[in-house]
Chain A
């Protein structure tokens, strides 16, 4: 195995974490989530250390003895400003990931983490666009200096998660500052309110007979369902709301068994049989009463000798 520098090691950790996250939408999330969280606790500490160390290389203080990274001349490496940006990016990144993991189930990634996502976006925006002091842009030095393009990769993964969960629909953008979010939309808050009502109702009647619950909570639940339907049509649903609704529906239909029962089997069968019976009558009556269509045969003019079918067959056999 090639000797590894501390930076790279940590980087690998974070990348691994992210890859775990990228597939977190699939059902593998349950497996990997706990260990990832465990690892994440270390990250803030060590990343601090790394950022502090990296500009000036101090071999004696290094934790690992096999640190082979030689110092580059200053003009080739990144500027002080960019290092700071990178540092900041790292911190905010960690904050956001730290926020998201506990909100994975039940899904609350939008309502809990929009603030940290906003600040992460802002810093990334700084890296990728803004000119720093002395007209230095960190875009080249941080984002696309190497094949890995780690900062870009890290950010785009998180961005993808944000986009898949369509959180943008549930949070309001801060008009004054780009990339920052002000809070949840009124629609979302209203939905949460309605959801809470239903849940309280469920809790109230949970004991004892579920049919009582079905009767009592029907109105609040139906309102909630309708609200959800409306929001679905408007396109104001984000993953939080969808998940909450799914869970509630699951409670309602599966746990409390309030779905509609199949009750009218007899009338449906009766009507169906009647309908199926009609064609039989139709065909029978047309068979019996309709006169059969006949075709008039016409004898073609032929040379008199060998035209009849009999002849053909004689000849053939």
Chain B
């Protein structure tokens, strides 16, 4: 160990305790604490311990509250109190004294005080508020240790709401001369960033300064923040890639001082942090990835030492290499590395190897082939943890050929497993595989039976839901559907004839539903028999009332056959007087419907599963009832939050603005004018099989029919389809360069011959061949594109989605659906160099466009950074270079159309749009033949996205199809007949109207254009367009009274302090005017130090803002009926004020 370390460690004791000399730590065992601890160890029973501790606590309590106790004694008492608490005895009387100690003690006593506070209280404890002043004082202290302690406690636990109070002080510490303070300040800000990202977003440029700090420790600390920020928005930080690479190069090259070494490895934690950042930046981005290939290679090469820490680095390296845009020789080295891990005799390494393999096989299943014998061995490993991880791996490589073996292995594990969490997880996976790849009806039903019996009542409710959905909707031909249902019926009848008492409730519910719905398919099965079996369930003690209501419902369906009328009557009589209202309701239904055939046929039609039912969710059929009740003097309905508010008002002083302007209530206006067909009321009241169950509000209820009927088919299924699509892409191996392909093929052709194990066990070989079956054949399937997808048995029928999945070259289709696991490796599929380059262009352009945000803020930072920054040992990693290069299109409105290109395109805007305020026209993507650009135009009640398609080739482009989609937005096409053909060197234009589905700070539209050149196959190009939420904000003109009414009825809110602007004018007015101008808000009224503002997202999603000047900040409170909207708006307000 180096000299420096020696020195440190000898210095440590003196820091930690003034009173005890180094090495004398053990002396304190003679103290009172020592006596207590010894006393406890000598005791023999829990009872005695309790008595002793209670005595101890009583004595502590007495002493802490005595005025004569000095702080020094207090410190000692606190330590004892902590000890008692850690044994599980409550010492809450001491909490307040802990705070006092932190407040009033000298440095070392304070330290104990802070420790006690951090151990006693959690973040939401109210006493913590008392700590705020102490922290404030210590942050301003001239004593560095006090500052350190304050920063430590702040990063451990600090009330979220109070962050603004100390934020400026912590921020200030970023410029502190001592690096330890700077480092702790960075970490404290990191913590704030985690718990309240909005609060620190204005100091992003200061993070950049921390990244350039001359002390590597501060720089390392800042990487925590960068990792987070890059995870959220990788596009915004691409310019830093080269800097991160440079830093990593220096670290790997041993350029950091020796004392950063850990077991002779240079700064491993720093290396790993950088590798993680790089993999986020290089994901799906070829040009960025290219910057890092060299350093990754170097990292792999350098990490040779045989020590855990090097393996940890290697693991991150491998993950990074497989995440970024692939490079064949790196992949090869990484694969070798994984091999070493998996084959290692060290069990921890083996585990990590399996984990890496699991990560990697998603794009290259052949790697699993190489290690098949090891995987088989791991499957029988005595350590369950290894076994579990192996199953995870197998789950990823499952296909239609090996599904039975893999599912069998999983079920085997499930039977021996005792941990609930694992059971839930695995059961979900089995169900997923069964649904996706089941080889036959019989197998499917039996597997699902096991899933239901093992998963029992703790499995995810969507498993039975989607199972029943699948049964009812069918998946194949009518005949196949019928067979599956028949098989299910047979299987369940025999289960009920066995020991139904052992089956979990959820399973019984599934069984009852299926028998009710489909037992008529089996003609030789008497309804009476089924009725008897179901009645048996009702009589069992352990049957829950939820299950009973399912059973009753099934019986109601069965009486349609008519013969079982008698037993139905009996049952309905028994339960007609049940205490459970739901059961009673069901019994009533059974009673009535069994008597009235006509009504029954209407309410419960056979095979009703296929027609979506409309549900009147406004409950308008109750209007008559409500108005009668109101007339009879009942109180009008108030939504829960309003009730709560009123309750709070009644209880305490009103702290809310407009408390007094409480209107008579919204309900008075509604009843008369809300007329809707009461016809529907019948169907929603009676037939919604499980809508009643939802009254119970239990989250475990199977809301199967409710879900289906309320949502209708299209919406739900579209979602489902997307998921399956994604899951499909997951399996096939990606295309590789021909050479690699050949090589991979050759390696795979070796593997089936059992070379790896010296004496291949026959059985294992067999298992291997069944497990890894299909992995090899898949590559060929994949080569042919998707024209021959793996047959998926239970894939739901395509619901007429006119997607473009024809013969067109599928470029990264799933970018649109964007499931994270899949899109990592999309780039691998982009073999066709032509298209790759297009995508490359589009993404880099996108990058420049997107990063304009940071770029503008950097404007201020750059000079600062350049002047103060010495970089890492003056060797200038190119941190700053990237920033200036970012002069990009600025999509914010109110800008003169600047560039000639923009001008030229803008002439194509239709007259009615060209007058309106719009963003600059931004290029989206382009290639030799066509280019896409877009802008958005602000109309009063909508936002129009205009996409220009420029044909730059000499031939006409035909069959242009433009498809847009967005997670946050509703996109609809405006043009009546979208242009399909564009002649040579001309421009076509598409218009889309955008509305907000789900507010987000920035919203994004992703799209795909497919087209046909005169020669060659159809082409597709992807693009995306990002715009700020502000584009959707419109002023909302309301009166103060209306504002008051609305304020109370909105349930989502957020509060924050903003900085006031004071340029001459009165600050409040000045600030609000800036907001009004920049964000299109409407200022309703300004009264003294308060102002109220209203705006809306386009036409129907209002958001209200209440501002009050408080000291020299503006306390802002936003409310809206739309979740997330207040948070997004506050972000833009901050932004607007900052840019001002």
B partners with A: no
- Which residues from chain B sit less than 8 Å from chain A, CB to CB? none
